[in-house]
Chains A and B, each alone.
Chain A
Amino acid sequence: MAKFAKLGLLTSVLLGSAMPTVAAERIQVTGEIVDTWCSITGIMFAYGTAHHQCAVWCAAGGIPVSIKSADGTFYMVLKIEDDATSVANPTILKVQTHNVTVDGELHKRDGVNYLFVSKVADDKGIVNMTHDDYGVVPFGN
């Protein structure tokens, strides 16, 4: 019986029918581009200049990036403009820690806000100066 259940799940996944499409919402978000793992787990201080190098490492390693808005909401970025690459995307590496305003399509599913960015409307660069308080995180200078 379990084998039939597995087969059914696999078949429906391959046919794309096991995953209900969630209604998307057009939104504009302003916030800092952050490393999802360090910021969500809280294993270290994960914001601004202090954590920039680590955020670049993690993005290069393929960890998803998110935008943290001023109200504390996290949006995991799955696409930036015409580029649907979301693993070690060179464009994302170059804008890590930047404060951006983006337009995009929001899909909410199982505790995650997934964001498909259609346009970067504004990029203020890095504005969150945290290095005086935290130094270089992790490992220090």
Chain B
Amino acid sequence: MKYSLTAMIAVFAAMSTASVANAADGWGIENEQIVEIEATVVDIACSLTKDCPPNCGDGKRQLGLLTADGKLRVATKGASIFAGAARELIPYCGKIVFADGLLIENPAMTIFMVQNLRISKSEKLQPATAFDTEWAKANGKADEWYRSDPAVKQVIEADGVFGIKGLAPKP
């Protein structure tokens, strides 16, 4: 499989502009479907094991979307660059939402990317970018949160971008 620079730039451009979409943007990912699903926000670990802390784990656990026909979709990605969907969905723990995004039924794993949310069909879709707002509130403004995040910096400064101390990119 080849990963061209142009294709990657296009993907990241889509990632940064997805927030203004009125409906989900396709990414051209194999097995993706653009869908808006009506589902209840659930704590996945709770649904599988009955270990159920209050409020779906307060954003510390992966969340899922449980549809009326009993399908559990793991909300793997939000609309913020390099960020998941837990912060987007945690305000709606136990509630029904309309999640607009990409259902990717890869034979290896079925995942869901939440791009926009609303709590009723009559409302306008809102971009699933709460991560950016909350990160900035906690850490201050940064052009690229992922390079400024304290936890990331600690790991990368300790072991380098390749994860092995002393191994660095060629100049």
A31, CB-defined interface residue at 8 Å = no
Minimum CB–CB distance from A24 to chain B (whole Å) comes to 8
Evaluate contact between A52 and B163: CB separation under 8 angstroms: yes
Evaluate contact between B167 and A107: CB separation under 8 angstroms: no
Evaluate contact between B110 and A44: CB separation under 8 angstroms: no
Rounded to whole angstroms, the CA-CA distance of A60 and B144 in the bound complex is: 13
List, in ascending order, chain A residues with CB within 8 A of B29's CB. Answer: 41-43
Chain B CB within 10 Å, residue with most, of A56, A62, A87:
A62
A19, CB-defined interface residue at 8 Å = yes
Evaluate contact between A13 and B94: CB separation under 8 angstroms: yes
List, in ascending order, chain B residues with CB within 8 A of A88's CB. Answer: 151
Evaluate contact between B61 and A43: CB separation under 8 angstroms: no
A19-B60 contact, Cβ under 8 Å, with A44-B8, A63-B82: no
B71, CB-defined interface residue at 8 Å = yes
- Of A49, A64, A72, the contact of B74 (CB 8 Å cutoff): A64
15 contacts between A and B (CB under 8 A): A6-B68, A10-B94, A21-B50, A24-B48, A41-B104, A52-B161, A53-B161, A53-B162, A57-B82, A62-B131, A84-B57, A86-B60, A105-B49, A111-B105, A112-B110
Known contacts A74-B109, A137-B3; 6 additional CB pairs below 8 A are A10-B95, A24-B48, A60-B149, A61-B83, A93-B155, A94-B155
Residues of B within 8 A of A (CB): 1, 3, 8, 11-12, 27, 29-30, 40, 42, 44-53, 57, 59-62, 66, 68, 70-74, 76-77, 80, 82-87, 94-96, 104-106, 108-111, 113, 131, 145-146, 149, 151-152, 155-156, 161-164, 167, 169-171
